[in-house]
Amino acid sequence: MFSKVSNFIFFVTSILLFRSTTCVEFIYNSNFTTTNTLLLGNATVNSPPSILTLTNQTTFSIGRGLYPSRINASSSTSPLPFATSFIFSMAPFKSLSPGHGFAFVFLPFSETSAASSSQHLGLFNFTNNGDPNSRIFAVEFDVFPNQEFNDINGNHVGVDVNSLTSVASETAGFYGGRDGERFTELRLNSGENYQAWIEFNGSAINVTMARAGSRKPIRPLISIPLNLTGVLLDDMFVGFTASTGQLVQSHRILSWSFSNSNFSIGDALITSNLPSFKLSGDSVLKSKGFIAGVSSGVVLLVFVIGLLCFYVVRWRRQRLDGDVEDWETEYWPHRVQYKDVLEATKGFSEEKMIGYGGNSKVYRGVLEGKEVAVKRIMMSPRESVGATSEFLAEVSSLGRLRHKNIVGLKGWSKKGGESLILIYEYMENGSVDKRIFNCDEMLNWEERMRVVQILEQGRLVEDGGEREMSLLERVKSSYLLETGEGSRQQHPTFQDVWNSSSYSNSFQSYDSILHGR
């Protein structure tokens, strides 16, 4: 909390630091002239009333208005205190976009040759900004956010020492209320008249602002310790500088007071009957700045709507086709793109179909150069929600199974809520039951005993991830597929997917394929 006590201490410190030196004190109450003001660049004095106009409608211009004589700003050991107050107005032109700002300055020289326009505010250029030998102190009133200077926003006040990267900056405005805790933002280039107070006591600085005609706020906008030793010299120019770029606005100083001995000098400014430079509502609506702002807003709105539509469509596709499941990064098998499955089976061509049963069909295909069997399970919309979640749980479980008589799943896929797809190794000789009943090459009893042994070995399989044992149920000969080498495998139909139990804390089931060695 900034109190009256803080202001009193600041004031007393300033009085104690005053030294016997040449007193400089002046008050310009709308009586600027070409005699009492040094005008450089595009700066002019307009009358009546006699106010200082730093910039006009010229693009990429600089304007400076300085006290005509150098003043003593430092003793032999430290900078001297000073107090200044001024009333200013920044206003856009109704046909141009507004920018950039102005600054109260101490300069070792008056010329503008070492300064640039636009974001440099007529203070620095690209090479000397940040140079400690510049010996420039300024308080900027900036309406454009320059990232290169770490500006906090496009409506701020900053304290600058040899650089446009401020040592301290705040959003333009004032603190009010009983405790000085309620902040009110003031739009710098609204065209409204504002009064600013800048007070330096030799080791700290206060910067305060408010609407012209208001009492000075008790709490400053900026209050920081500040060492200007080596910056403020014995003889310095003091005044104002402003600039325009592609963005153009007027920068006007209506009144100005300065003293290096009287910290109440701001009370001498006349704040009534001042000219107003606020644009009318109609002018604002027709200004390029307003039109540009509205146009930018429309473009941004269209962009946001387009982006939203993109993500909605993407979300719907992901909802239909599925995102990568959490377990996919840890366990195989992995998901195969649906378009690759279509290509492998030639669009689930009938000529590729090698089996069917219930609501599923099995297709022969080639995926990544290898023959595969693709099992496509069709679902109705009513079945899809529950079946899909169970299907994904089964696929994750299958990826963890490890057994010499189980052929691992190659992959899986799904198409929205209409079909689920399992991809296995292709076994060219079909199921074993074809060699048990009514065929020319029936299995002998030794081979049949071998089938029974394979079935028994396959019923109890080990979960490779958690060392769990899973019991496969409803195992029968039609589930056994015969490889080209004469071994046997099992391939269940869809209705058998959830027919095994896990001997662990939870119950899971596995769609599995058994083979003989």
CATH code, domain with 445: 3.30.200.20
414 has pLDDT over 70: yes
Q: How confident is the model at residue 129 (pLDDT cuts 50, 70, 90)?
A: very high
More confident residue, 502 or 311: 311
Same domain, 344 and 257: no
Looking at residue 514, the DSSP 8-state letter turns out to be B
* Contact status, residue 10 vs residue 203, Cβ threshold 8 Å: no
Instruction: Give the pLDDT of residue 167.
Output: 98
H helix runs in 336-407, sequence order: 338-344, 381-398
Q: Average the pLDDT over 166-179 and give the result.
A: 94
Question: In 3D, which of 253, 258, 277, 270 has the Cα closest to residue 44?
Answer: 253
40 has pLDDT over 90: yes
Strand-pairing partners, residue 7, are none
Instruction: Give the pLDDT of residue 9.
Output: 52
Q: How confident is the model at residue 123 (pLDDT cuts 50, 70, 90)?
A: very high
Distances (CA, A) of 328 to 76, 323, 413: 75, 10, 12
Strand-pairing partners, residue 55, are 251
Question: What are the tens digits of pLDDT across the range 74-91?
Answer: 876 788 899 999 999 999
Looking at residue 59, the DSSP 8-state letter turns out to be S
| 471: in domain | yes
Q: How confident is the model at residue 320 (pLDDT cuts 50, 70, 90)?
A: very low
Strand-pairing partners, residue 142, are 101, 156
Looking at residue 173, the DSSP 8-state letter turns out to be E
| 292: in domain | no
Tell me the C-alpha distance between 235 and 1, whole Å: 37
More confident residue, 477 or 269: 269
Report the domain count for the chain: 2
Instruction: Give the pLDDT of residue 352.
Output: 87
On whether 375 is known to bind a ligand per the annotation, the reply is yes
283 has pLDDT over 70: no
Instruction: Give the pLDDT of residue 445.
Output: 82
* Contact status, residue 451 vs residue 433, Cβ threshold 8 Å: no
5 has pLDDT over 60: no
| 102: in domain | yes
Q: Average the pLDDT over 444-464 and give the result.
A: 66
242 has pLDDT over 80: yes
Strand-pairing partners, residue 240, are 65, 104
| 279: in domain | no
Of the residues 240, 255, 271, which one is the last residue of a structural domain? 271
3 state SS of 10 = helix
Q: Where are the beta strands (DSSP E) in 212-359?
A: 222-225, 235-243, 249-259, 334-335, 353-357
Same domain, 335 and 245: no
Same domain, 68 and 192: yes
Same domain, 337 and 217: no
Same domain, 348 and 234: no
Indicate which CATH number applies to the domain containing 212.
2.60.120.200
Q: Give CB contacts under 8 A, 24+ apart, made by 201-206.
A: 201/10, 201/13, 201/14, 201/17, 201/81, 202/13, 202/14, 202/17, 202/78, 202/79, 202/80, 202/81, 203/13, 203/227, 204/10, 204/13, 205/159, 206/10
Structural domain boundaries, residue 481: 326-503
Same domain, 469 and 365: yes
Same domain, 225 and 344: no
| 164: in domain | yes
| 277: in domain | no
Of the residues 227, 250, 271, which one is the last residue of a structural domain? 271
b vs e for 424-438, b when ≥16 Cβ sit within 10 Å of the residue's Cβ? bbbbebebbebbbee
Of the residues 242, 271, 300, which one is the last residue of a structural domain? 271
Same domain, 74 and 152: yes
Same domain, 217 and 333: no
| 282: in domain | no
| 238: in domain | yes
CA dihedral for 393, 474, 350, 487, sign (positive or negative) = positive
Instruction: Give the pLDDT of residue 163.
Output: 97
DSSP assignment string, 467-501: --EEEE-S--GGGEEE-TTS-EEE---GGGTT-EE
82's tokens: 């000073």
Instruction: Give the pLDDT of residue 169.
Output: 98
pTM value is: 0.55
Average pLDDT, the chain: 79
Tell me the C-alpha distance between 13 and 11, whole Å: 5
Same domain, 256 and 342: no
